[in-house]
Amino acid sequence: MVARNNRGVMSASGRSDTTPDGGDSRAGRAILVIVLLAFPMLKVAWTLGGSAEANEVFLTMGVGSWPDALTGLLLTDALLASMVAVVVCQLIPARFRRAPVSRRSTTGRLAALALTAPLAVGIIVGALYGPGWGIATTLTAYALRTGEALSHGDRTAAWRRKTATAASALSLGIVALVPFVSLAACLDGRAWGPVLVCDVDAGEGSRRQRVIELRRTGPGVVGWDIPDREVVNGVHCARSDDQQVRPAWWQKW
C-alpha cells in the first residue's frame, strides 16, 4: 500500500520521507550565516572602540580583514569554535538515500560516515585547543549524528523515538546557544589578531606602542595602534603576552 507524506511525495513504506532534523539543518545554516557575516564585524567594531575605527580598518585593509576577523574570533574562543564545529558537522549528510547497496554495506557506510565527520572536526579542535576540547567535540557531534541516523529508520521502537528526539533537542539547543556565545566572544575586549609591541613613527619620532597586527609587510607589520587608535606601520616588533585591548562589555556594569 502506498502512502502520501506531508510534502505530497509517495512513500512505498507508508512512512513520511520528511525527517525531524530538517529544522535543525535550516536553523544551523541560518546561524552559521550570522556568525560568518555579522559577528566578525561586531568583533572589530567593539574591540577598536566604534564604527569609525572599524571602518578605517576595513577600508585600509580591504575585504581580507573580514576572514582574518572571523578566524581570530574562532581561534580566541575554544567554546565557540567547538560549538561551530558541531553545527558544521550536523550539516554534513549522514547517509545517502539512493545508494542501491545491501543492508550490511549500508550499515557499515552509515557507521563510517557518522564517525568520520565528528572525528575530523574533533582533531581540528583538539589541535587548536587541546585534547580535552577535541574529545568533547567529537563525542558531542557523534552523539548527535547517531541520533539523526536513528530518525531515518524504523521508529516504531520507543527507544529509537526517544533517542532521536533527545538528539534533535540537543542539536537545536546548541544552535540556539551559538549566537550568545558568539556575542560574548565579540564583546570580551580581546584582539582578534596578535598583539605586538612595535616601534611606531607617526611623524613625531619613534616610540614603542602596542599594535594589533593586521598584515605583515616587508620588515614589519601594518597594524592598529591601540593607544593612538589609527592604522600604522610597525617595525622591530615583539609578541605581547596581553591580548586584552579594552575591558569586556560585562565589566562595565
On whether the pTM is more than 0.85, the answer is: no
Coil/strand/helix, residue 34: helix
| DSSP code string of 190-249 | B-SS-EEEEEEESSS-EEEEEEEEEEEETTEEEEEETTTTEEEEEEEEEE-S--B-S--G
pLDDT category at 157 given cuts 50, 70, 90 is low
Coil/strand/helix, residue 10: strand
pLDDT per residue as tens digits for the range 170-225: 888 888 899 999 999 999 999 999 999 999 987 777 889 999 999 988 888 999 99
E-strand ranges in the chain read 3-4, 10-11, 195-201, 206-217, 220-225, 230-239
In 3D, which of 36, 62, 49 has the Cα closest to residue 214?
62
Instruction: Quote the pLDDT of residue 6.
Output: 43
Mean pLDDT over the full length of the chain? 80
Instruction: Quote the pLDDT of residue 19.
Output: 45
Q: Which residue has the cell 605586538?
A: 196
pLDDT per residue as tens digits for the range 64-74: 788 889 999 99
